[in-house]
C-alpha cells in the first residue's frame, strides 16, 4: 500500500500511553468504537475492548511487544472476514485467516462482528429434525436435534475427541456444514484430528477454527465468537450447521487471565463476574431459525474437559444451565475399550426427543427403564449367591442391550438398523441365547439388514406412528431370515 492509499484508508491515529503485556491503553482515536480493529505501524493489530473518556483500551492480537509512543490507526473498512465455500477443508485462525501461508482467500465480504445479540423467539423455528450421528447410544437414547445446544462433558482421556471426530465424519453424506473450533489446543493435538477429518473417509465439508495454545491470549478469547459468526453465515443461507467448540473450560481460563490482568474485580474461583454471560452470550446464538431468517440451524456441541468426574464445579454448572442437556463421558469405560464411552444414566437431552420418530421414543423409554433396573439388580446380586429367574432375565437382557449399544469406533449405523437391533433384545431370538452368540453374529445381522430387501417393511414401519409392540411382532416375523445368516 502506497502513502496516498494509506492516508485514504486511515481515519484517525492514536498513541499508546500504557502497555501491560497484550493490554494497551491509547490516547486519541475519538471515533473508535467497541470491536474496531486498530493497525500499528509495524503491522500489528489490536481489538478495541473499552472506551473510557479520552482513553481507548485494546487487546493486541498479534505476537510482539508494543511500547508507549507506538502509533495505531483506524481504517475505513466495511468488511474484514472472507466467508464462503472456500473455507471448506481449511484451517483458519480466530481472524478468519488461513493458517497455511500459501493459501489466499477472496476479498472480505463480512464485517468484523463478535458481540451479536442472540435472535429472539420470534426469529426461531420449531426444533423437530434429528441430527443423526450414526451412534446408537446417542441417536436412540440421548438424541440431539438440529438447533440443540448440547454439552459434551468428561475428564481427560474419556473418549470425547474420538466421538467428536466420528460425529463430524457421520455428516459427510448429510449436507451438513461442520465447524470445529479448537480453543487453546497445542498444534500437535490438533494435527491428527485435522488429518482424520480431512482424509478420504472423513468430511471435507468441515472448517477448522484454530486458536493454538501458543497464540496471543486475545486470539484464543475471540475464537468461539468467530466460529459462531461463520456458523451464522451459513445458517442464514438455510443450511444445517454443526458447530463444535472445544473446549469451554480452557476458554474460561483465558478469560480469567484477561480479567485479572485488566484489574477487574474477580468473582468465584477468580473467574470474572460475568463469565456466565460471556459463555451464554455465545451459546444462545445457536438454534433452529424461522424461514424469514433463512430456515437454517446451528447445532452446538459445547465441549467441557474437567479434572475430576464432578458436575458441581463452577464452570460445568454454568454451562449446564446454558445448554439443552449434556453427554457425560467416562474414562473408566474408555479405558475398557467401550465405544461410545457414554454414561447414559448421567446424561440428559432435553429437546432431542422432539426430533425422534414415535417408535424411537417408545424404544428409548423402555430400554432406559430396563437398564436402570439392570444396574440395581447387578449391585444387589453382588451380595448374594442365589438369584431368581426374574433377576437372571433382567441381568441377561441388560447385558444384551449394552452390547447392542456398543459400536466400533468408525461404525455408522442408520436409524433403521439401530432400532431393529435394539428390538431384538426383546425377542427369544436373543433372550434364549448367551451374549457370545450376539458378539459372533452382530456384524452378520447388520450386514443382512443393510443388504437384504426383505427387511424393507421394517424400515417403512419405523416411519409410521405404530406402537412398539406392533414393531416387535413385525421384527419377530423376520427371525427365520436372521437365523439363516447367524452362526450357531
Question: Domain limits of the chain?
Answer: 7-75, 85-354, 359-485
| 17, 25 Cβ separation under 8 angstroms | yes
Dist. CA 346–CA 49, nearest whole Å: 39
Task: Sort 234 into a burial class: Cβ within 10 Å, 0-12 / 13-18 / 19+.
Answer: buried
pLDDT at position 333, please? 94
Helix (H) or strand (E) holding 417: helix 415-423
Residue 320: what pLDDT? 93
User: Residue 17, Cβ neighbours under 10 Å: how many?
Assistant: 14
Only one residue has cell 431370538, namely 429
SS3 460: helix
pTM here is 0.93
- The rounded average pLDDT for each run of 10 residues, N- to C-terminus, in the chain (488 residues) is 47 92 94 93 92 94 93 89 94 93 90 90 93 96 97 92 92 92 90 81 86 95 97 95 95 95 90 94 96 93 80 86 94 94 94 94 96 91 75 93 93 94 95 93 94 90 92 94 86
Among the four given CATH numbers 3.40.50.300, 1.20.140.10, 2.40.30.20, 3.30.70.141, the one describing domain 7-75 = 2.40.30.20
d(CA 48, CA 220): 16
* Architecture of the domain defined by 85-354: 3-Layer(aba) Sandwich (3.40)
pLDDT of residue 1: 44
**Distance between CA atoms of 211 and 95, rounded to whole angstroms?**
10
Q: Is the dihedral of CA 6, 8, 10, 13 positive or negative?
A: positive
Find out whether 130 and 140 touch, Cβ atoms under 8 Å.
Answer: no
Rg (CA), the chain: 26
Give the number of other Cβ atoms within 10 Å of residue 143's Cβ.
25
User: What phi and psi values does residue 301 have, to the nearest 5 degrees?
Assistant: -105, 105
Give the pLDDT of residue 126.
Answer: 92
| Residue 24 exposed, middle or buried by CB count within 10 Å (0-12, 13-18, 19+) | buried
**194 class by beta-carbon count within 10 Å (0-12 exposed, 13-18 middle, 19+ buried):** buried
**142 in Cβ contact with 344 (< 8 Å):** yes
Beta-carbon count within 10 A of 162 CB: 18
Q: Is the dihedral of CA 248, 253, 258, 263 positive or negative?
A: positive
Start-to-end CA span in the chain (Å): 77
What pLDDT, on the 0 to 100 scale, is given for residue 381?
A: 78
The stretches of 120-200 forming alpha helices (DSSP H) are 136, 160-170, 187-198
Give the Cα-Cα-Cα angle 424, 140, 180 (nearest 5 degrees): 140
- Alpha carbon 424 to chain centroid distance? 31
C-alpha cell at 402: 449394552
Q: Got the DSSP string for 17-49?
A: EEEETTEEEEEE-TT--TTPEEEETTS-EEEEE
> Contact, 247 vs 136, CB < 8 A?
no
Is the preceding omega at residue 27 within 30 degrees of 0, hence cis?
A: no
Cα–Cα distance, 180 to 246 (Å, whole number): 8
Residue 196: CB atoms within 10 Å: 18
pLDDT at position 228, please? 97
Q: What are phi and psi of 356, to 5 degrees?
A: -85, 160
Give 365's contacts (C-beta < 8 A, 6+ positions apart): none
Nearest to 435 by CA among 406, 485, 391, 397: 397
Residue 3's pLDDT is what?
44
| CATH code of domain 359-485 | 1.20.150.20
What is the predicted pLDDT for the residue at 101? 79
Q: What is the DSSP letter of 264?
A: P
3-state class of 487 per DSSP? coil
Amino acid at each position: 500500500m502506497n502513502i496516498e492509499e494509506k492516508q485514504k484508508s486511515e481515519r484517525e491515529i492514536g498513541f499508546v500511553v500504557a502497555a501491560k503485556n497484550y493490554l494497551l491503553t491509547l490516547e486519541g482515536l475519538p471515533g473508535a468504537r467497541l470491536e474496531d480493529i486498530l493497525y500499528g505501524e509495524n503491522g500489528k493489530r489490536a481489538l478495541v475492548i473499552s472506551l473510557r473518556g479520552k482513553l481507548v483500551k485494546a487487546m493486541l492480537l498479534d505476537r510482539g511487544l508494543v511500547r508507549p509512543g507506538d502509533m495505531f490507526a483506524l481504517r475505513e473498512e466495511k468488511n474484514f472476514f472472507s466467508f464462503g465455500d472456500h473455507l471448506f477443508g481449511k484451517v483458519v485462525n480466530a481472524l478468519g485467516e488461513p493458517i497455511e501461508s500459501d493459501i489466499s482467500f477472496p476479498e472480505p465480504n463480512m464485517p468484523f462482528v463478535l458481540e451479536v445479540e442472540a435472535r429472539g423467539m420470534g426469529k426461531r423455528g420449531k426444533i423437530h429434525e434429528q441430527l443423526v450421528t450414526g451412534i446408537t447410544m446417542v441417536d436412540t437414547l440421548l438424541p440431539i436435534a438440529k438447533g440443540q445446544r448440547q454439552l459434551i462433558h468428561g475428564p481427560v482421556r474419556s473418549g470425547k475427541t474420538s466421538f467428536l471426530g466420528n460425529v463430524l465424519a457421520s455428516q459427510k453424506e448429510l449436507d451438513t456444514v461442520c465447524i470445529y473450533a479448537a480453543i487453546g489446543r497445542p498444534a500437535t493435538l490438533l494435527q491428527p484430528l485435522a488429518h482424520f477429518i480431512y482424509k478420504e473417509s472423513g468430511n471435507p465439508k468441515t472448517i477448522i477454527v484454530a486458536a493454538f495454545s501458543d497464540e496471543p491470549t486475545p486470539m484464543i478469547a475471540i475464537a468461539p465468537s468467530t466460529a459462531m459468526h461463520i456458523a451464522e453465515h451459513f445458517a442464514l443461507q438455510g443450511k444445517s450447521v454443526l458447530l463444535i467448540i472445544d473446549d469451554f473450560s480452557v476458554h474460561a481460563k483465558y478469560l480469567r487471565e484477561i480479567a485479572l490482568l485488566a484489574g477487574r474485580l474477580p468473582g468465584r474461583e477468580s473467574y470474572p463476574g460475568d463469565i456466565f454471560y460471556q459463555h451464554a452470550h455465545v451459546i444462545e446464538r445457536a438454534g433452529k431459525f424461522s424461514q424469514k431468517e433463512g430456515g437454517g440451524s446451528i447445532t452446538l456441541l459445547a465441549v467441557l474437559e474437567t479434572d475430576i468426574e464432578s458436575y458441581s464445579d463452577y464452570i460445568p454448572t454454568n454451562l449446564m444451565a446454558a445448554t439443552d442437556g449434556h453427554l457425560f463421558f467416562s474414562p473408566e469405560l474408555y479405558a475398557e475399550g467401550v465405544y461410545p464411552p457414554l454414561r447414559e444414566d448421567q446424561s440428559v437431552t432435553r429437546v432431542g426427543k422432539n426430533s425422534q420418530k414415535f417408535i424411537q421414543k417408545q424404544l428409548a423409554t423402555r430400554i432406559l427403564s430396563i437398564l436402570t433396573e439392570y444396574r440395581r439388580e447387578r449391585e444387589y446380586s453382588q451380595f448374594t449367591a442365589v438369584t431368581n429367574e426374574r433377576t437372571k432375565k433382567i441381568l441377561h437382557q441388560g447385558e444384551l442391550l449394552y452390547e447392542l449399544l456398543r459400536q466400533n469406533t468408525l461404525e455408522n449405523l442408520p436409524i433403521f438398523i439401530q432400532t431393529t437391533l435394539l428390538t431384538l433384545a426383546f425377542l427369544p431370538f436373543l433372550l434364549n441365547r448367551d451374549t457370545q452368540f450376539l458378539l459372533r453374529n452382530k456384524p452378520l445381522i447388520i450386514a443382512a439388514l443393510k443388504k437384504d430387501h426383505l427387511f424393507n417393511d421394517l424400515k417403512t414401519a419405523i416411519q409410521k406412528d405404530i406402537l412398539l409392540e406392533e414393531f416387535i411382532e413385525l421384527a419377530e416375523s423376520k427371525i427365520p431370515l436372521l437365523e439363516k445368516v447367524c452362526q450357531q
